[in-house]
Chains A and B, each alone.
Chain A
Amino acid sequence: MIWLEKRKEPSKFWRIANPFLAVALTMLAGGIMFAMLGKDPVAAIRLIFFDPIFSETFGSYSRPQLLIKSAPLILIAVGLAIGFKANIWNIGAEGQYIIGALFGAGVALLFFPQPGWYIFPLMVLAGAFGGFLWAMIPAILKTRFNTNEILVSLLLVYVAEKILAAMALGLMRNPDIPGFPGSRDLRRYEAAHNAELFAGSGVHWGVVAAMIAVIFAYAMMKRHMLGYHVQLAGQAPRAARFGGVSPTRLVIICLGISGMLAGLAGMFEVSGPGGQVRIEFASGYGFTAIIVAFLGRLNPIGIVFAGLLLGLTYIGGELSQMMLQLPSASIQVFQGMLLFFLLALDFQTNYRLRLTRGVRT
């Protein structure tokens, strides 16, 4: 018979090993899936995980793309991880990302076509504020009426998508090109353009912001009372009350931080790589960041690596679409499998599988 036995202490080994194992299993299962689609599995895996960085033909294009795709993931995941540690589940980063982008782009479009050094910093503030505001809706509903922040934040994603579509078709539409949805291209408006800082590197202000966020989050979780309270509230809510942690305050802070960072990510995207407010602007970074946060073990440093890995799957996915005509959904399946395997494997950090004969004594 098979027994599950609870470990006395969570296994440190599996905590570290599971993300690697999950990646390996995802490659294996993904390979099987590609084989069933009639593609060469080895070539497909190679194309997704190795070619974007090491291939001579695609490398020069793909390598900067890696930072461009990873930065928003890392920025959002760092914020989410803080909340997750406190058992506050913001699932709606995608919505906060969209609203942050709309606020940032809104500021830019208001100033268009004036020049001014202050415009971009104002957009940064507006983006952060937009994400914060959108996250305050589940926060206040939770603290006031004890609603479930998972549901509220998730459903608000769909509201944000509708607002995005309305903006792209209405208020923010580019008046110079009638008949086409979408705003002006911010990349062509110098004062608002989140340009590459070093040519060909892919480093834009969003990458810088992500690095700063990682450092701040790390310092906060290790050295600051706020990080201590976050962990306390997640591990032992009653002890947190005893330690003077106000649950209301914590909900506001955690949702506020993650909303702000998601909003920032959206703003950096719309003013840089994304370029304009479009209906299809949201590409799922807010959801993928949840996978990044877990894969990085909710640790800011771990999140950097997890963010790079999932950024890689985005680029590799595009490559394999181009080269092998794999369906575009296959990369989402890939990312989903990664989270699935990780969560399944995490079972063994807390439990041990035992094979025994007969009745347990």
Chain B
Amino acid sequence: MVFNKGKAMRKPLLCLKGLTKAYPGVLANDDVSFEIGEGQVHALLGENGAGKSTLVKMIYGLVKPDQGEMILRGQPYAPSQPSEARRNGVAMVFQHFSLFDAMDVAENVALGMENPPPLRDLAQRIRDVSEEYGLPLDPTRLVGDLSAGERQRVEIVRCLLQDPKLLIMDEPTSVLTPQEVDVLFKTLRQLSAEGTAILYISHKLDEIRALCDEATILRGGRKIATCDPREKSSRELAELMVGQILTPPEKPDRPLGDVVLQVDKLSLASNNPFGTSLKNISFSLRAGEVLGIAGVAGNGQDELLLMLSGELTAPAEQVRLKDKAIGNLGPNARRSLGLVAAPEERLGHAAAPDMSLTENALLSAAERKKLTKYGFINWRATDAFAREVIARFDVRTPGSHVLARALSGGNLQKYVIGREIELDPDVIVVNQPTWGVDAAAAAFIRQALLDLAGKGAAVLVISQDLDELLEVADSFAALNEGRLTPVRPAKGLSVEEIGLMMGGAHDMHPAHEGSA
């Protein structure tokens, strides 16, 4: 491969020496040193909380290190704010975009520049740069109408216009379909070949092995290793990252039972101009089956969960649970009948942040666990249930009196999913069950869902993590722009097929457009 110039020829671009940053109660970075060469694609690998974000924030001037120094092209480099970093040729694309939906592409780009040229010149430059790097982008379109992949292009083009020497990318592929990932990688390789170094943050090992020349692995704030990711297997990298041996989840063989959940031409008009509406969604789910629904964020996942949990209602016949039409019932009525859900957002949706775990147990368990009588709450029984969930799902907490917001993401997620599983449902719907959760907790949650399916419950997993879906799902479908593809058996699906299912409507017009 042309872009891989080999280590020996590289001049160092940025040297990090002994960077240390402490926050109250936690050492976010502890004596981290490594080098990034000119034109190198350097991976920064680690779990949530390993210190990746803090490290790049120091490089980008958002955080000041307590100790250590940085040397950029032979000069001491200590940016006090991002604009100083940008002047020195360091640019960053954040995981969460900072774009205004109601403005067009050129206006958004101008907002992020120090001295933006007149909009007309800027539009031309955006066209030039986006074509040069294979990132087609129309500067006059409203950002609110763009897909996640296109929004990311806006951010990248904004960086490229400043002609950076080092481009930092934080989890760039988490919002992309496999095809969009290919496009992005092509761009990054081109940039690398032209001498721009890229610091690529990810926890997706296959991507890193495909793209990067060198990888630095962080764990618990410390550098564990710097290595050539191509010389390691994904599994070796994962174990370096996690610090323990990982076992893939067991998928018990089980016979599929009768259809328990039937969704028939479910539609929803979105009342938010930039929200997604659901169009004619139909599928059925059998007892013991795990159905995975893939899709890039913002294609109707949240809306689908709300319509299944009962937070949004529909004509009764559009959702059937066993023999009952339940589309018009609210969340508690559905829970009583055996349908439970765990939304994506843990804090604020699946749990109230300022309430204790005991109080949060009541949120969804009141009906099925009979925790109230004439509306009066049996706090003792509620607390016993909370403790049971904590014990069974290995939630690390000093006790059930702790506020939900005091728990780490992974622990709270275990609690929330555990709470729903302990309700012994016939159907469980989960959205992004392991988002932002460390690998050990993620494996635990997936196993718990599979065990539940093994006991005869139907499981619907909505997720953006393809690896997760392929690990747990028996059957597979994808959401794009509010439409659901036909359900296919998960076995034997190739990543290309999945990508086409996921991305269909973005780049090519799907055949079923007319049916809406």
Chain A residues within CB distance 8 Å of chain B: 9, 223-226, 228, 231-232, 235-236, 238-244, 246, 359, 361
Contacts and interface: CB of A to CB of B under 8 A. Distances in A.
A242 B331 contact: yes
A239 B377 CA distance: 18
B349 interface: yes
Contacts of B204: none
Contact of B375 (A9, A224, A243): A224
A240 B332 CA distance: 11
Max chain B CB contacts within 10 Å: which of A223, A235, A239, A243?
A239
Contacts of A232: 352, 355, 363
B16 interface: no
A3 to B, nearest CB: 15
Given A224-B376, A235-B353, 18 more contacts: A9-B403, A223-B376, A225-B377, A228-B377, A232-B355, A232-B363, A236-B355, A239-B363, A240-B352, A242-B349, A242-B350, A243-B362, A244-B331, A244-B332, A244-B333, A246-B330, A361-B63, A361-B64
B496 interface: no
B376 A242 contact: no
Nearest to A239: B352
A241 B343 CA distance: 12
B372 interface: yes
B311 interface: yes
Given A232-B363, A242-B331, A243-B331, A225 B350 contact: no
Contact of B345 (A223, A225, A238): A238
Contact of A223 (B66, B80, B332, B377): B377
B131 interface: no
A235 B375 contact: no
Interface in B319-358: 330-333, 335, 341, 343, 345, 348-355
Interface residues of B, number: 35
Nearest to B347: A236
The residue among A225, A232, A236 with the most chain B CB atoms within 10 A of its own CB is: A236
Interface string B399-419: 000010010000000000000
Interface in B340-393: 341, 343, 345, 348-355, 359, 362-364, 366, 372, 375-377, 379
Contacts of A224: 375-377
B309 interface: yes
B62 to A, nearest CB: 11
Residue from B63, B349, B403 having most chain A Cβ neighbours under 10 A: B349
Contacts of B350: 239, 242
Nearest to B309: A242
Given A9-B403, A236-B352, A361-B64, A242 B363 contact: yes
A228 B376 CA distance: 10
A24 B422 CA distance: 51
The 5 closest A-B pairs by CB, nearest first: A244-B332, A236-B352, A361-B64, A244-B331, A238-B349
Describe A's contact surface by its main secondary structure.
helix
Interface in B176-194: none
B403 A236 contact: no
Contact of B364 (A238, A242, A359): A242
Contacts of A225: 366, 372, 375-377
B63 A239 contact: no
B353 A244 contact: no
A246 B311 CA distance: 9
B351 A239 contact: yes
B362 A228 contact: yes
| Chain B CB within 10 A, most for which of A223, A236, A240, A242 | A242
A361 B332 CA distance: 48
Contacts of A239: 348-352, 363
Contacts of B406: 9
Nearest to B403: A9
Interface in B453-468: none
Given A226-B375, A235-B352, A243 B363 contact: yes
A332 B492 CA distance: 77
A223 B380 CA distance: 11
A106 to B, nearest CB: 34
A6 B63 CA distance: 18
A95 to B, nearest CB: 30
A359 B364 CA distance: 46
Contacts of A243: 331-332, 362-364, 366
A235 B356 CA distance: 12
A253 to B, nearest CB: 12
A22 B341 CA distance: 45
Contact of B311 (A231, A241, A359, A361): A241
Contacts of B66: 361
Nearest to B311: A241
Interface string B308-319: 011100000000
B261 to A, nearest CB: 19
Contacts of B345: 238
Contacts of A361: 63-64, 66
Nearest to B377: A223
26 contacts: A9-B403, A9-B406, A223-B376, A224-B376, A225-B376, A225-B377, A232-B363, A235-B353, A235-B354, A236-B349, A236-B352, A236-B354, A238-B348, A239-B363, A241-B311, A241-B331, A242-B341, A242-B350, A242-B364, A243-B362, A243-B364, A243-B366, A244-B310, A244-B332, A244-B333, A359-B64
Contacts of B354: 235-236
Nearest to B63: A361
Interface in B293-309: 309
Contact of B348 (A223, A226, A231, A236): A236
A359 B80 contact: yes
A226 B377 CA distance: 10
Contacts of B366: 225, 243
Contacts of A240: 352
Nearest to A231: B355
A226 B366 CA distance: 12
Q: Considering residues B345, B352, B372, which has the most beta carbons from chain A within 10 angstroms of its beta carbon? A: B352
Nearest to B371: A225
A205 to B, nearest CB: 28
